[in-house]
A and B are shown apart, each in its own frame.
Chain A
Amino acid sequence: MDYFAGIDVGALSTDAVILTAGSEVAAYSIVETGANSTDAAEEALAGVLAEAEIVRSQIKRIVATGYGRVSVPFADKRVTEISCHALGAYHLFPDTGTVIDIGGQDSKVIQVGEGGKVLNFTMNDKCAAGTGRFLEVMANKLQVALDEMGELSLRAGREVPISSVCTVFAESEVVSLVAQNHPTEEIIRGLHRSIVNRVWNMVKAVGVNGGVAMTGGVAKNRGVVALMEEKLGQSVHLHEEPQVVGALGAALLAWRASQSAG
């Protein structure tokens, strides 16, 4: 049986997805990107092959995406994460009109059309505000685990407003808030609000049409998702591992290419 793979080499994590010839997800894997994108891609591929219990030669085509897409020597094609997230989200949730992808190094809002086509998109400018990196820095400063932040913020009764959008300045702001004995949960909720407000500008620029899917690592944070839903006035589509949506889109492109090639 033929299989198709997509690999998304992001700033923080590298994700791989394997599809069957019927475009069903056979397996996925997530590893940390670390310092070497090529090694991370190899590792993610090895992991997903083991998970799917198949061997490399059974993969007919591989598409790489993400910032490290150029560092995947074994990829047959390289496609931007914008096209891949749009297609991946559309495949999972066919009524998707808008994708909000908040990744480790950047965030983007994509307007998706028929067949998962990109109609419009916008990305954050050269600044880590409104990205996963922002939360990572803050989790570190507050000495909480990154994946606990969502739960903690949902428990907060109030929120402490964070005025600075700059990651470096917000970090100093957090230091002084801690010194003023503000509860950690309230600070975290303020930080989540700051991300959502930042991304909201991009949502407004692109517009909301139909269903909204959230993808990327930050979509795992229930606190951020809840604030975004509040802002949108509607619930969002989430995959159980929102990080892998880009890799899924890449795998779908690999599968589609083989279909059109006959």
Chain B
Amino acid sequence: MTFFKELRFNFMKDLGGPALMSISRKGRKRRHRAPNPHFGPALKSATRLKEIMTRHYFLSRYTEGAKPVAWVTSGAPVELLRAFDFYTIYPENHGALCGAKKLGPELCAVAEEHGYHRDLCSYARIDLGHYFSGKSPAGRLPKPDLLFASNNICQTVVYWYRALAHYWDIPLILFDTPYNFEEINDSDVSYMVQQFEEMIPVLEQVSGQPFKYRNFQEVVRIARDTSLAWGEVLATMKARPAPMSIFDAFVHLAPIVSLRGLPVALEYYQTLLKELKERVDRGTGALKDERKRLMWDNIAIWYKVRDLADLFAEQGMNFVTATYTNAWTETIRYLDDQRPMESMARVYSLVILNNNLNHRLKLMERLINEFEVDGLVIHSARSCKPYSVGQYDMKRLLMERLGVLSVIIEADITDFRVYSEEQTRTRLEAFFEAIDA
């Protein structure tokens, strides 16, 4: 870390970056898109969200030599890294961005040319494609000093991050979480806490900073409060009409995933929550006429978020809850700054994808009841095997137990070469017909 680079980073963070972004905002021609008559007024906080995320990616270009950089998986206990002031990049969040910009197939193809199979997760292929080609809609991503992965979301991340560690020849920290078949016991927790203790010397070495326990506790507090605030944001959708839709939440999810533990994320959700509460008080909905309320299962279909939002809005159907967006408030809210390591072990090993299917079924039942859901749309994502397994059984059991109609659509999170517009449309239209019959 040189003094000059640190100075440059701080200058770009406080003055240069905001100035450049404001120039680029003014210079950009506004694309006029005819407003969809079925939607209520747009969320005002969206502008602030865009600012935060753009700044995050923009500033990452100036981190080299100024701040230690880590690439992190979406379910990893990032709180520990924050205590060492790591600048974090989330390849999955970047993958979602590439997906939304319809760059999935292009970047996946680069990875495939290097021998990675098409059946691999497309987030992994996009990230490796980015490694080989340097292409990114965010300009460029900073080279990491450290890789941090947890297998609480899937096993793919283990091999994907090992490949990155090999290419860059940098350290990889892997947080191994025992799968929760029935319950997590004390020996599981101590196994995980020992891993945290072993990580500290590595983090000290890579960051050049000593571990400060108080800083760590503060980060844990902020992360917990942010998770609680995100939970409150999602809970506003219990209102009729719901003040936002899950398609909005897919976008507003970015800070809780990739800026968790930083004050900016907490402040953002407080702002968003205030706006949503005002909307609820005024009776302003995401849709002008919310006839039916739906639940979404699995990761978003990033290249189709807008099209699907339009299609469902035309039907007066609003998504009011999702297992996916819920994942960042389900367990993280139980972080405890008085027992940070132990609570972190429990919180991160009990996330939905590291938990048994019975747990998932109960969770879905609870969300359906609490949010008064009329129907369920299940995305069978080719990329995400741990999330897509068991969906046909869930569908059948939820129909039997709660009489909730559901439809499965086969697609992928970013690689639209495996998406069939015509077949998906037929399934969704049949679902609309059945729910209205």
A residues contacting B by CB (< 8 A) are 67, 79-83, 106, 117-123, 125-126, 205-207
Contact = CB atoms under 8 A, between A and B. Distances in A.
A83 B430 contact: yes
B396 A121 contact: no
A89 to B, nearest CB: 15
Interface string B401-437: 0000111101000000010101100110110011001
Contact of A106 (B418, B423, B433, B437): B423
B281 to A, nearest CB: 39
Contact of B429 (A80, A117, A120, A123): A80
Of B422, B429, B434, which is in contact with the most chain A CB atoms at under 10 Å from its CB?
B434
B399 A120 contact: yes
Given A117-B437, A126-B418, A82 B395 contact: no
A83 B433 contact: yes
The 9 closest A-B pairs by CB, nearest first: A82-B430, A80-B430, A118-B434, A83-B433, A126-B420, A205-B392, A80-B429, A125-B410, A117-B437
Interface in B155-185: none
B423 A118 contact: no
Contacts of A121: 407, 430, 434
B426 A81 contact: yes
Contact of B434 (A81, A83, A125, A207): A83
A79 B430 CA distance: 8
Interface string B370-403: 0000000000000000000000100110010000
Given A118-B430, A121-B434, 14 more contacts: A67-B422, A80-B426, A80-B430, A81-B426, A82-B430, A83-B433, A117-B434, A120-B406, A121-B407, A122-B392, A123-B423, A123-B426, A123-B427, A205-B395
B426 A67 contact: yes
A31 to B, nearest CB: 21
Contacts of A79: 433
Contacts of B392: 122, 205
Contacts of B418: 126
Contacts of A125: 410
A171 to B, nearest CB: 22
Contacts of A206: 396
B433 A80 contact: yes
Contacts of B408: 122
Contact of B396 (A83, A106, A205): A205
Contacts of A118: 430, 433-434, 437
Given A83-B430, A121-B430, A123-B427, A207 B437 contact: no
Contacts of B434: 82-83, 117-119, 121
A199 to B, nearest CB: 15
7 contacts: A80-B426, A81-B426, A82-B426, A82-B427, A119-B399, A120-B396, A121-B434
Nearest to A205: B392
Contacts of B420: 126
A43 to B, nearest CB: 22
Contacts of B427: 82, 123
B32 to A, nearest CB: 28
Nearest to A66: B426
A206 B429 CA distance: 19
Contacts of A119: 399, 405, 434
A207 B395 CA distance: 12
A125 B430 CA distance: 16
Nearest to A207: B396
A151 to B, nearest CB: 32
Contacts of B422: 67
Contacts of A117: 434, 437
A221 B426 CA distance: 26
Contacts of B423: 106, 123, 126
Contacts of A83: 430, 433-434, 437
Contacts of A81: 426
A126 B425 CA distance: 13
Contacts of B429: 80
Contact of B395 (A67, A106, A120): A120
A251 B323 CA distance: 40
Of B399, B422, B430, which is in contact with the most chain A CB atoms at under 10 Å from its CB?
B430
A16 B437 CA distance: 24
Nearest to A123: B427
B161 to A, nearest CB: 30
Contacts of A80: 426, 429-430, 433
Contacts of B399: 119-120
Nearest to A110: B430
A117 B435 CA distance: 10
Contacts of B426: 67, 80-82, 123
B376 to A, nearest CB: 11
A125 B408 CA distance: 10
A122 B406 CA distance: 10
Given A67-B422, A106-B423, A118-B437, A126 B410 contact: yes
Nearest to B429: A80
A27 to B, nearest CB: 26
Contacts of B395: 120, 205
Nearest to B422: A67
A1 to B, nearest CB: 29
A119 B433 CA distance: 11
A67 B429 CA distance: 12
Nearest to A78: B429
Contacts of A106: 423
